[in-house]
Amino acid sequence: MSQTFDVVVIGAGPAGYVAAIRAAQNGLKTACVDNWKNSDGKHAFGGTCLNAGCIPSKALLESSEMFHKAQHEFAAHGIQVGNATLDVTAMQARKSGIVHGLTGGIAALFKSSNVTGIRGTAKLLRDGTVEVSDFDAPDKTDALIAKHVILAAGSEPVELQALPFDRRDIVDSRGALEFSTVPKRLGVIGGGVIGLELGSVWQRLGSRVTILEAMDNFLFMTDQQIAQTAVREFRKQGLDIRLGAKVTGADKGKSGISVHYGDRDGKHDLEVDKLIVAVGRRPATRNLLQEGTGVKLDPHGFIQVDAECRSGMKNVWAVGDCVRGPMLAHKGSEEGVMVADLIAGKVAEMNYAVIPSIIYTWPEIAWVGRTEEELKKQGIKYKTGTFPFAANGRARAMEAPVGLVKMLADARSDEILGVHIVGPMASEMIAEAVTAMEFRASAEDLQRTIHAHPTLSEAMHEAALAVDKHAIHAINK
């Protein structure tokens, strides 16, 4: 039997569930179909972000930082705890509790905002109907008729042909969040966001971690002054980061996994107990569309959309990781809001130039806008202001005087073009820069904004002052 809706959303990750809630808030009869399956076989809303990405990784990050502090930092505060020990089962249970609470929260939000949450696998058919096969009985299908369809199918980890996942010793990011013991020797392929975040979690918990990264430049997409400061810190902490290291394959033996890779010095083998493969994600668009719909995919499987997320098929939209742009939860959510508002006939747009990026290592890395390398390439004249956390009172009191804030402003107009941070709580601090850039603030606007003392945000203020060589608590170079 078919059901009719104004809007059917396929996928309940941060792009899809947010689109569904906003559509319902706009008075549209909305359904959201999702087929996420957890390792216990049970369904949960929230997609990768809540179930196996952002949230569980941040839970483990927090736990591992606590453990690291107990071992290495408490003494500096005069606190003696003796030998801190680790209960990985309890740590994982805390993580699961947080995930469970938040995914259950989405089901509750659906209920309170009148979104019909449907568990099942959806496919868009040629005639615009959404066919849903039931989560528990896949042979049972239902048809949903909708005026508008929003595709928010997300992404999945890229698997290396020479190194298939075995879900036990060779794992993707999801498997790496579920180790029940701390691996003695941990290999990570890919020194990108996931490799660094998960590598540093297990390193803090006691693993000897080696990261093999194919590129010669560390974090090539990041401002290189920030990237160089970060890699120095990570290496000081004991992360063995090998750049220009291209992995060609691996063999599993009794004593672990032998990973084969080549760099400019020749061929090498790395012996590890567990291996995380984090070499990127690809759009989860296989089996999403019946042959012959008007929705077009690019050669990498991304759904082709315009600036307002319209696909090539009338009244079919696509948002989040399955379309172009950075694979970030907050980018997907904002696209979801924009599309739900456009469907409701409201004015809505998305500012793709001001999307914050964050890497949740310690210290954290966060940025928004253009890097110094990009400005040089584009021939834009700019001014630079930097301020080190070593000169920030709050950072020193926190025992975290590491890293810097860097601000780039247009040499003529003074408009802020980019802000880059490596340091404590960079993820929270970047919000000020995002707001400033959204309002097209100048460096002077931030210079004249009062920042509370003593806070980390004073480093942002000082970086803005340094743009005009007026920093108070540092030498202006």
Least distance CB 26 / ligand NAD (angstroms): 28
Q: For tokens 């559509």, what's the residue?
A: 23
Concatenated DSSP letters for 385-406? EEEEGGG-HHHHHTT----EEE
CB-closest chain residue to ligand NAD:
192
Least distance CB 180 / ligand NAD (angstroms): 22
Least distance CB 25 / ligand NAD (angstroms): 26
Question: What are the tokens at 447?
Answer: 């210079």
Nearer to ligand NAD, 88 or 160 (CB): 160
Distance CA 245, CA 242 (A): 6
Nearer to ligand NAD, 101 or 326 (CB): 326
Of 300, 71, 278, the residue nearest 176 (C-alpha): 278
Distance CA 359, CA 363 (A): 9
Of 40, 157, 152, the residue nearest 99 (C-alpha): 40
Which sign does the torsion angle of CA 367, 427, 48, 307 carry? negative
Nearer to ligand NAD, 256 or 356 (CB): 356
Nearer to ligand NAD, 32 or 359 (CB): 359
Residue tagged active-site, from 148, 300, 453, 461: 453
Least distance CB 360 / ligand NAD (angstroms): 5
Nearer to ligand NAD, 58 or 473 (CB): 58
Distance CA 234, CA 227 (A): 10
Nearer to ligand NAD, 312 or 325 (CB): 325
Least distance CB 173 / ligand NAD (angstroms): 7
Least distance CB 234 / ligand NAD (angstroms): 14
Instruction: Please give the residue ranges that form the binding site for ligand NAD (CB under 6 A).
Output: 160, 189-195, 197, 212-215, 246-247, 278-281, 326-328, 358-360
Nearer to ligand NAD, 120 or 336 (CB): 336
Q: How far is CA 28 from CA 4, 79, 341, 350, 435, in A?
A: 11, 57, 10, 21, 30
Q: 3-state DSSP call for residue 464? A: helix
Contacts of 215 by beta carbon, 8 Å cutoff, 6+ apart: 191, 243, 244
- Beta strand segments in 245-363, E: 246-253, 256-263, 266-272, 274-277, 281-283, 316-318, 357-359
Q: Is the peptide bond before 14 cis (omega within 30 degrees of 0)?
A: no
Nearer to ligand NAD, 42 or 246 (CB): 246
Question: What are the tokens at 136?
Answer: 């528990």
Distance CA 87, CA 184 (A): 16
Q: What are phi and psi of 472, to 5 degrees?
A: -90, -40
Least distance CB 284 / ligand NAD (angstroms): 12
Least distance CB 189 / ligand NAD (angstroms): 5
Query: Is there a catalytic annotation at residue 68?
Result: no
Distance CA 361, CA 230 (A): 9
Q: What pairs with residue 431 in β-bridges?
A: none
Give the active site residues.
453
